[in-house]
């Protein structure tokens, strides 16, 4: 590799690091805002306050009873939503035959009965609930700030991916300047004179190529990846159909106010519960969090595949791979199991270091075990020969197979020998179940510096 090529790869390393870190930070900010909206949804939406104002303005005789009616109505809707979320999170909203869960029906009926009792009490005091009910409901439907916020957060997250993608295309032209050559592209002498050097002209041409590609759609971007770098969409997506739907939903939100269009229906497979033409697409908390996992995985695997295709320097390759390993390990720490499994699985096949590939394989198994159960990985782990590997991998094998006592005893030996630290025992996702069964009450580290077994955690 000549000096010019190496310098370009150094530039690419900085571009990879900057783009990936900004991408992660941006998606983390979206996730934090979504969690904030969930915690403070009631105050953000303010159904009770808005309903009260409307009810008061339409009931001059008894302001206090109007306020009580509005509060009862808002509490009913909030309790109903919480009840639905509770049963949806357990997958118990409907029974085996598709009928509503009897227990859910009973609790829903109790909410309705409570509201009915409250309204009857108010009516006995002279307040006409029927006269004001329509206005109360209309205000309730209108005040949906959290829904609007989540829709905006989805468009922001998709935009963050677009920024990352444009940066990666820029890296491509940095490392493959010959790709800028085209018989169709012509520059006048006047154009050339505007730049101080041919390098500036090349950068301008590359920026223009990136801009022209970004004006096209998602499908065109994936086609470009396949054509230029032989990167298949199926190889970098967590779930292809969900990614396509996310980008189409964002398009509908931005360009059609969230109203389902014919274009959306033509590009996205529908189900019995999907909104039809003219229906409204919303963004729930669950949808947004799942979308963030899909977008993060797509962006990281896209960047990883581009690096594998373009970077030739071993030292720069290792530095870039360290970024991907850190992201995969963070997903494991955050219990984002599907993301961690997808990223660790790819790294376990592409890293050029045997020890790191094995660490990624362990992380892949941890993630799949937590998301799908031990049975899914048991055969592979039981057949895994750790006799020639470091002792930490024997520890990993015990922990993965739920041999918690054996894992604990081996961990104590390794801590005593200074091969792992008590902090690592208390922090590794690998040992989560071992810690529950055998908590380490206090530090038992051996004197001296422990040799780190980084189950995915890297320096740099």
Distance (Å, rounded) from C-alpha 68 to C-alpha 76?
A: 12
Same domain, 86 and 34: no
Same domain, 17 and 95: no
Same domain, 127 and 157: no
Residue pair 172/35 in contact (Cβ under 8 Å)? The answer is no
Same domain, 159 and 265: yes
Same domain, 125 and 205: no
Q: What residue has token string 């189900």?
A: 271
For residue 259, the cross-strand partners are: 280
Distance (Å, rounded) from C-alpha 184 to C-alpha 186?
A: 6
From 272, 427, 430, 296, select the one nearest 362 (Cα to Cα).
430
Q: Which two tokens stand for residue 24?
A: 């992660």
In a domain, 55, yes or no: yes
From 356, 319, 335, 456, select the one nearest 18 (Cα to Cα).
319
Please report which residue ranges of 280-353 form alpha helices under DSSP H. Answer: 285-310, 314-333, 337-350
Same domain, 284 and 330: no
Residue after which a domain boundary falls, among 91, 123, 142: 142
Segments forming the whole domain that contains residue 249: 3-38+147-310
Residue 435, pLDDT score: 95
Residue 243, pLDDT score: 96
Find how far residue 11's CA is from the centre of its chain: 28
- Secondary structure (DSSP) of 301-322: HHHHHHHHHH---HHHHHHHHH
Reduce the DSSP state of residue 414 to 3 states and report it: helix
Query: What is the mean pLDDT of each successive set of 10 residues along the chain, which is 460 residues long?
Result: 79 89 94 85 55 47 68 79 79 65 80 81 70 55 70 94 94 82 59 65 75 92 95 95 95 90 87 81 92 97 94 90 94 96 95 93 97 97 95 97 96 94 94 94 47 37
In a domain, 454, yes or no: no
In a domain, 317, yes or no: no
Residue after which a domain boundary falls, among 281, 310, 339: 310
Sign of CA dihedral 328, 329, 334, 338: positive
Same domain, 234 and 334: no
From 298, 162, 154, 179, select the one nearest 217 (Cα to Cα).
162
User: Long-range contacts made by residues 63-70, C-beta under 8 angstroms, separation at least 24?
Assistant: 65/122, 65/125, 65/126, 65/127, 66/127, 66/132, 68/118, 68/122, 69/118, 69/119, 69/122, 69/127, 69/129, 69/132, 69/136, 70/136
Residue 55, pLDDT score: 45
The secondary structure of residue 457, as a DSSP letter, is -
- Secondary structure (DSSP) of 47-72: HHHHHHHHHHHT-SS-HHHHHHHHHH
Same domain, 71 and 110: yes
In a domain, 446, yes or no: no
- Secondary structure (DSSP) of 11-43: HHHHHHHHHHHHHHHHHHHHHHHHHHHHHTHHH
CA distances from 243 to 22, 237, 280, 291, 310 (A): 21, 7, 19, 8, 25
Distance (Å, rounded) from C-alpha 145 to C-alpha 43?
A: 10
For residue 94, the cross-strand partners are: 100
Residue pair 292/336 in contact (Cβ under 8 Å)? The answer is no
Same domain, 281 and 199: yes
Residue 277, pLDDT score: 85
- pTM of the prediction? 0.74
Residue 52, pLDDT score: 45
- Letter string b/e over residues 167-177, b meaning 16 or more CB atoms within 10 A of that residue's CB: bbbbbbbbbeb
In a domain, 255, yes or no: yes
CA distances from 420 to 70, 170, 389, 411, 436 (A): 60, 42, 15, 8, 19
Sign of CA dihedral 121, 122, 123, 126: positive
Same domain, 219 and 138: no
Residue pair 304/295 in contact (Cβ under 8 Å)? The answer is no
Q: Which two tokens stand for residue 152?
A: 């905006």
In a domain, 237, yes or no: yes
In a domain, 81, yes or no: yes
Dihedral angle, C-alpha 438, 440, 441, 444, nearest 10 ° = 140
Residue 136, pLDDT score: 54
Domain total of the chain: 3
Same domain, 332 and 426: yes
Same domain, 236 and 151: yes
Q: What residue has token string 């939503």?
A: 81
In a domain, 448, yes or no: no
Q: What residue has token string 């783009």?
A: 19
């Amino acid at each position: 590799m000549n000096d010019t090529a190496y310098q370009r790869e150094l530039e690419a390393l900085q571009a990879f690091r900057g783009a990936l870190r900004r991408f992660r930070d941006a998606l983390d900010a979206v996730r934090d805002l979504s969690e904030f909206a969930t915690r403070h949804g009631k105050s953000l939406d303010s159904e009770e306050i808005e309903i009260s104002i409307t009810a008061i303005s339409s009931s001059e005789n008894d302001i206090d009873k109007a306020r009580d009616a509005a509060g009862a109505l808002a509490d009913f809707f909030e309790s109903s939503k919480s009840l639905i979320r509770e049963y949806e999170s357990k997958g118990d909203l409907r029974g085996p035959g598709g009928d509503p869960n009897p227990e859910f029906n009973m609790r829903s009926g109790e909410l309705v009965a409570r509201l009915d009792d409250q309204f009857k009490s108010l009516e006995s005091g002279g307040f006409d609930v029927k006269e004001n009910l329509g206005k109360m409901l209309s205000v309730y439907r209108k005040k949906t700030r959290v829904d609007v916020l989540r829709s905006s957060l989805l468009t922001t997250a998709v935009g963050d991916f677009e920024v990352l993608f444009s940066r990666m295309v820029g890296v491509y032209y940095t490392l493959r300047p010959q790709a800028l050559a085209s018989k169709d592209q012509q520059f006048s002498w006047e154009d050339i004179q505007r730049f101080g050097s041919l390098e500036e002209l090349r950068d301008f041409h590359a920026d223009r190529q990136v801009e022209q590609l970004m004006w096209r759609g998602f499908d065109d971007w994936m086609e470009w990846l396949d054509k230029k770098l032989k990167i298949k969409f199926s190889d970098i997506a967590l779930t292809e159909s969900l990614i396509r739907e996310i980008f189409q939903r964002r398009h509908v939100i931005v360009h059609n106010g969230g109203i389902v269009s014919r274009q959306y229906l033509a590009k996205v497979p529908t189900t019995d519960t999907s909104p039809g033409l003219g229906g409204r697409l919303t963004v729930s908390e669950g949808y947004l969090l799942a979308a963030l996992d899909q977008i993060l995985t797509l962006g990281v695997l896209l960047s990883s595949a581009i690096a594998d295709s373009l970077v030739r320097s071993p030292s720069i390759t290792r530095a870039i791979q360290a970024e991907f390993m850190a992201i995969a390990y963070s997903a494991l720490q955050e219990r984002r199991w599907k993301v961690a499994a997808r990223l660790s699985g790819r790294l376990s096949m592409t890293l050029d270091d045997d020890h790191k590939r094995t660490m990624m394989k362990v992380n892949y198994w941890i993630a799949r075990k937590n998301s799908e159960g031990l049975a899914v990985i048991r055969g592979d782990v039981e057949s895994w020969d750790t006799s020639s590997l470091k002792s930490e991998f024997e520890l990993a094998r015990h922990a993965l197979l739920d041999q918690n006592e054996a894992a604990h005893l081996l961990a104590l030996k390794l801590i005593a020998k200074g091969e792992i630290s008590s902090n690592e025992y208390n922090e590794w996702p690998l040992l989560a179940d071992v810690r529950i069964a055998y908590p380490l009450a206090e530090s038992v580290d051996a004197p001296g510096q422990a040799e780190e077994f980084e189950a995915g955690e890297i320096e740099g």
